[in-house]
Each structure stands twice: as structure tokens, then as C-alpha cells.
Structure 1
Amino acid sequence: MLVPISKSGTTLETLAAFSYFYEQCQKSSLLQMEVAVVTDLDEDISPLYNLAKENVWQCFDIKEGIGGRFCIFSDPGLITAAAIGMDIDAFLCGARDMENACQSASLGENPALLNAVLKYAAAEKGVDIEVFMPYAAKMKSVGEWYVQLLAESLGKRKDREGNVVYYGRTPVSAVGSTDMHAQTQQHQDGKKDKVIQFVEILEREQQIVLNNPFTHISSLKKYDGLSVDHALKIALAANEEALNSDGRLNAKYILPRIDEYYLGQLLYFLMLSVAYEGELADVDAYDQPGVETYKQIMKQKMSHQ
């Protein structure tokens, strides 16, 4: 099944990939192909919707006013989640419970608001880089999504009154412990213009315990019986302690385990925190005028091909 997702129905990357694989699948006598489209259900806006009607493909909607980075809990995100086998009911349940946990205007009772206030206060002191660093390779794509959420929501030239403010932080995606070797020198000794966010996983699905097949090498004996999960926890704690020792801003989110419920909680928490910070900074966290600039230029250039 091919599932093109594009609100306008004309997104270059989406339509290029869809057209290519649709043509290749049609040529094959071994494949039976189905298509489901996720787009604006308006024939005057989306040619993808017109194609769907013409070919009787199943359609799912992209709601007005929900930007791509915020759509993970609506049709585009849920269709993708269902396609890869996620329990979308548990995913939505996690988001709902985080929403209920963030109803208070009190910082002590609303974790997303507290997160936003602390980051806004840091931004006021010149912190303009934000690192998202889960200690789990499985969460690498979460960091990549968060890069877009932060950059597109808070990276704004003007506030709501039209004043030039150049607000926002440059997001950096990292994975522990891999990027401790790549980035930590800058985090620890570079400019104090960064906030580092760790994600710790309390329980793993699989426990990998190392043996030492090289018993004649005495320096490797310390790895015999070592749990990889324990090693990751040691690495995170060491990174955290090193940053704290030099007054470097950091935070740690702790997930009991990686599953749909807790992932729903975390993603909703991050979305809500970004939305709150937009209000604190008086910028529109839901538009992306800078993106529209290059899109218009691209359309003009494509029309001349």
C-alpha cells in the first residue's frame, strides 16, 4: 500500500516518491497495489484528492490549522503509526493523560508550563541552542521530529505586534551515548548558550549482557557481565554530572519504558511546552512564514523547468 501524505496534494518530495513507486508497482506482475491518501479533502485545493476520487482510493483528512509538526495525533501521524504497527489507542491515551496533567496554571502542577518558563528564562539570558538527547537509538527519529517542532514553531522574525524580535533556538538532535563522543566537548567547554535535554529509559524491552570472549586481556575483564542498559545509565549520569559541575543548563526526562503510551505522553508534553513558550515570547507558534518564502521560490523555479 502506498500512502502519500500532503495537505496541498502537490508537495514535491511526496509526489515525486509516490509517482515513482506507483509507476514501478504498476509495472510489476508480482505486486497487488493499493493506495490510501492523506490530504485536504477539497478538490479545488488538492490534486491528490482528485486522483483519489477518480481511482476510488481511500482518503483521510488533514485538518485545517494543524501544521505538519503538530499533526502526529491526527490523521497523518495516526495513519503512519498504524502502518508500522503501533497501538494508536495507547498513543492517544498517553497524550490525553498528559493533557489532563497540564491543566493547572501553577508551575508546580503543570510540567509542560514549567519546562516552557525555564526555557524562556534561559532564552532571555542568551541561550539560543537546544539539544535533544535520548539515551536510546530507537528514539533518534523523535529527536529529528523535535528539531522541526522547535525550529518551525519558535524561530520567528516578528512577534504578534509586528516587532522584529528574532526569537528562537537552534535545535540539535543527538543520541546517547554515540553523540557524547561527537558533541559533548562543545556542550562542556564551548559557549554557555545551550540547554541539553536528556531522555532516560528506566526499563528496556531487551536486556543485553556482555560476556568477555577475550579472557586473556585483563583490561577487558570489567566488561564481563556488564548490562548495556546499565552502561547507558552510567554514561548519562556522568554526562549530567559533568554539565552540572560547570553550571551548564540541562534537563532530564525519564520514561518508564519505550512504548506507545509513554511516547504519546512525551510528544504531547513537548508540543504543549513549545506552545506555552510561544505565548510567553508573544510569537505565533503555529505559522511558518519563513518556510513559505522558499516554497514560493521553489514553485517559481519548478514552473520554468
Structure 2
Amino acid sequence: MNPGGAAAVREPEPRGPGLTVVPPGPVPAAAPQTAPLRFAALGDSLTEGVGDPVPGGWRGWAALLAGALSEDAAGVDFHNLARSGALSHDLTAAQLPAALALRPRLAAVVVGGNDTLRSGFDIRHTARELDTALGALAGEGTQLLTACLPDPGLLLRLPGPLARPLARRMRAVNTVVHALSLRHRTVHLHLTELPWTADRDLLSVDRLHPSATGHHLIARGFHARLAEAGHRLGPAPAAAPAAAGPGRAADLWWMATRGTSWVAERSTDLLPGLVALAVTEARGRLRGATARLDEQMAGAASAALAGLP
């Protein structure tokens, strides 16, 4: 890949089409810059740039944003530490130490989607790992970027018995992310509100990651939120890439050449857990207990937040 490329929570007020912002902390007085602005991106395949291919690897929203943080491209020192498949534990075990060593002025921390896709999902664990990472970086004076995530079951168009429990998990993760964004005064982007399913051009051929157009939209969203927070930036990223997004033929080609192996790899861990989730969901529906399952997961998210130090 290309890592060096250039408790209830009150919902924030909507700002613009499909995007909202959590008010960050006070912007410190600008100091004379004697070194480039260092920007570190932590997370999984979304932040690594999967879905936005360039020669030699991936680009992605974080690299696009990095190129727009300063009037002078040489004024930004960008480090993409995100890795495909990363869980919240990987964030604190591997990426956080590397980020702290860089002492970045700006850091993006976007993770949690892969946690929902694992059979051992535990919202308490996810909350602890995210709080640890955000707290450590905020403690160094780093301005943080966070985002809540769209529902993977919805993106993949999974059948209801599978989609509903995944949606329930994703809501729990987003509840935690919303609360921690307020706690650590991050600049927050609500990716859940973008029209992922209504606008097919925003998704890559695997239907789980943004397309190049989707990555551009995310980069512009973060750029706008940073500008609203008072940060001095360069011009906003382009609204869309020069090349058109993938069409139906590209979808079919990806599924024939890579999609099958991708599903097989995911199934090693996911399939047993998803089958168990589907069985539990079906039983719950027969007993009319779907609402109770929703309440249990919401309660688990609240308890996870209440249990943080």
C-alpha cells in the first residue's frame, strides 16, 4: 500500500447537506510555523484509501485532505498509519505508538467498522480502545478528526436477519464515537448521513468502501469542518476525481477476479458469527423481541461509556 501519500448523546446540529459537526475545543492562537504541519491518519481500510486506486497502491480521503491542509503542499508532513482489516485493538497496539512518536498536530482516528464484523464483538472493548487512542493523542495537544460510520449490512445489501444485527452493532459503535468525540473535542464528520446507497457512484466495486468520488467527498467534508473550526487551510479538495467511477462491468469483473476470495477470507471469521446472529435474530422476531435486542445493545453502549475512566 501507500502509507506515505501526499449515557445518551445529544445529536449535533446539522451543517450542510448530509454532514454535521461536533463543536471542537477552542482553537489555540496561531504560532509561527517553523516546520510542516504533521498529519497522521489512523484506522482501517477506509482511511488506508481502499476504493481510490492510484499507481502503486491506494490514495484515499486522508491523502486528499493532507494536500489541502496548507496553501503549500510542502507544508504538510503526512503519515498514513491505517491498515486494512484493523480492529480497535490494532489501533492502540500498533498505530497509536507510531502516531505518538510522530507528535502530529492533526490526527484522524476512524475505526470500529471491522469490530462489528467479528464474532467476538464487544462494545465495551471497542469503547476502551477508542478512548485510549483519542485520549493519548489529545493529551499531546493533537487536534483530532473522527467520524461515525455507515452500516455495513446496508452497504452490502445483506438479507434482514443478517443486516439487522449488524446495524444494531454499528449503532452502538457510533453512539460511542459520538460521545468520545464530545469528550475529546474532536472535529467530527457524520459519514452515516451521506447517500451511500442512493448514489451508487460513492461506493467502490466491493460496495463496502468508498469509490474515488466517495473519498473525495469525505475529504471535502473534513476540510469544511476544519475550516468551520477556525483552522487555516489550503483550497478544498476537488469535488470529484477526473476519472469516472466504476460501472456495472467493473462490479462484475471485481466479483469474478477478487470478490470471491474476499468473501472466502471474511467467511473464515464472519460466517459462524453471522449465522449465530441470524439465528438469534430469527428467534427474537418469532418472540416479538426485536425491540428488546435493540434495547440491550443500546444499554450495552451506554454501560461501556459509563465504565470508562
Does TM-score exceed 0.5, indicating one fold?
A: no
Greater RCO, CA 8 A, separation 6+: 2
TM-score, normalised with respect to structure 1:
0.36
Which structure shows the bigger proportion of residues in strand conformation? 1
Point out the structure with max Rg over C-alpha.
1
TM-score, normalised with respect to structure 2:
0.35
